Amino acid sequence: MGEAAAGDAGDVLLEARDVHMYFGKVAALAGVSLEVRRGEIHSVIGPNGAGKTVLMNCINGLYRPQKGDIFFKGMRINELKPYQRAALGISRTFQKVEVFGGMTVLDNIRLGRHIHLQSGILSGALYVGKTAREEIENRQFIEEEIIDLLEIEHIRHKPVGMLPYGLQKRVELGRALALKPELLILDEPLAGLNLEETEDMARFILDVNEDPRWNITCLLVEHDMGVVMDLSHRVLVLNFGIPIMDGTPSEVQRNPDVVRAYLGEEDLYATRR
């Protein structure tokens, strides 16, 4: 990581080709194609039930599309399980926070480092030498890179289940970052946050996308049009599982189909601001 700067229209990191996903006879996705280039923030928007989360679940491996292929770094990953895709460098956050409520903030983020750690049953149980060193190094990485970035020093030893919603979202982002992913799927990271928390979260997303130490490509699902249009390099618009268009934010704003399907007759910036 680190060679491709943000916005540099680099190689294709993730490609979804003609993805179909049916639940019974309901077509949640009907032929969606998506290309996410390295270093970009690529947003997916659409009205409720448009299939945005289904598409994320397909990319992430929680769902298996009936038709169509998903390529990550040029490799077909349709058959891989979610944990195998995580090892390839795909991480995500969820729309409804899915943190580990009984673990502390620190342990949640440590868990995100799972694929980068080595200790097993025996070495873990004995906790000597390499394992102890690994835990300390891991702790240092988390403290310096993630907790510092997300400004959650004050809650690091608190159980996540006891934190307010906004902080839980932040911890979830921290956990996703701990995996040091190449592709970060953000499923409505701003849902339910107040204005200040929204601004913080948007800043974190920009940080990890642009900071050369992270340089994470983001796939963002979001309803907050102001944020989507400001952050994204490209935007995919879905409606009832059908892709309407894929283009830059300004192209999307000008497209009459998009305006009709999603934004209504109102101005794009009507949702917030």
Partner 1 sequence: MSTTFLPCGEYHESYREDHAWWQTRFIKAKMMLLVLILFVGIPLAADSYWLSVCNQIGYTALGALGVQLLIGFCGQITLGHAAFLAVGAYTSTLLILEFPWPTVLMDLGLAYPISIFIAAIAAGIWSVLFGLPSAKVKGFYLILTTMAAQFITVDFVITQYISQIGGRGQAFSLPPGTIRIGPWVIDSDLKVYFMMIVLVILFTALVANLLRTRVGRAWVAIRDNDISAEVMGINIVRYKLLAFFVAGFIGGVAGAFWISNLAAISPEHFPWFWSLWLVGVILIGGVGSLHGVIFGSIFMVVVMELLQMAVLPLATSYPKLLMDFLFIKEAAFGLAICAFMIFEPNGLAYRWWQAKNYFNLWPFSY
Q: Does 157 help bind partner 1 (rule: CB under 8 A)?
A: yes
Contacts of 40 (CB under 8 A, 6+ apart): 6, 7, 9, 217, 218, 232, 233, 234
DSSP 8-class letter at 144: I
Strands 67-72 and 75-76: antiparallel
Q: Which C-beta is closer to partner 1: that of 52 or that of 92?
A: 92
- Binding residue for partner 1 (CB under 8 A) from 49, 159, 166, 226? 159
Q: Which two tokens stand for residue 97?
A: 């926070």
Q: Which C-beta is closer to partner 1: that of 91 or that of 198?
A: 91
58-76: b (≥16 Cβ within 10 Å) or e = bbbbebebeebebbbbeee
Q: Does 139 help bind partner 1 (rule: CB under 8 A)?
A: yes
Q: Does 95 help bind partner 1 (rule: CB under 8 A)?
A: no
Q: Does 136 help bind partner 1 (rule: CB under 8 A)?
A: yes
Strands 41-45 and 26-37: unpaired
Span of 30-38, 75-83, 189-197, 263-271 interacting with partner 1 by CB under 8 A: 75-83
Q: Does 268 help bind partner 1 (rule: CB under 8 A)?
A: no
State in angstroms the smallest separation of the CB of 253 from partner 1: 33
Pick from 41, 42, 44: which is nearest to 55 by CA? 44
Query: Is residue 48 classed exposed, middle or buried when 0-12, 13-18 and 19+ CB atoms within 10 A define those classes?
Result: exposed
Q: What gap in Å lies between CA 214 and CA 161, rounded to an integer?
A: 28
State in angstroms the smallest separation of the CB of 266 from partner 1: 36
Residue list 52-71, contact with partner 1 (CB under 8 A): 60-62
Q: What gap in Å lies between CA 160 and CA 53, rounded to an integer?
A: 24
Q: Does 213 help bind partner 1 (rule: CB under 8 A)?
A: no
Q: Does 73 help bind partner 1 (rule: CB under 8 A)?
A: no
Q: What gap in Å lies between CA 114 and CA 179, rounded to an integer?
A: 7
- Count CB-CB contacts under 10 A for residue 116: 14
Q: Does 126 help bind partner 1 (rule: CB under 8 A)?
A: yes
User: Could you tell me how many residues of this chain bind partner 1 (CB under 8 A)?
Assistant: 46
Span of 17-25, 29-37, 100-108, 191-199 interacting with partner 1 by CB under 8 A: 100-108
Q: Does 119 help bind partner 1 (rule: CB under 8 A)?
A: yes
Q: Does 101 help bind partner 1 (rule: CB under 8 A)?
A: yes
Interface ranges with partner 1 (CB under 8 A): 60-62, 81-83, 86-87, 91-92, 94, 98-104, 107, 110-112, 114-115, 117-121, 123-127, 131-132, 135-136, 139-140, 143, 157, 159, 175-176, 179
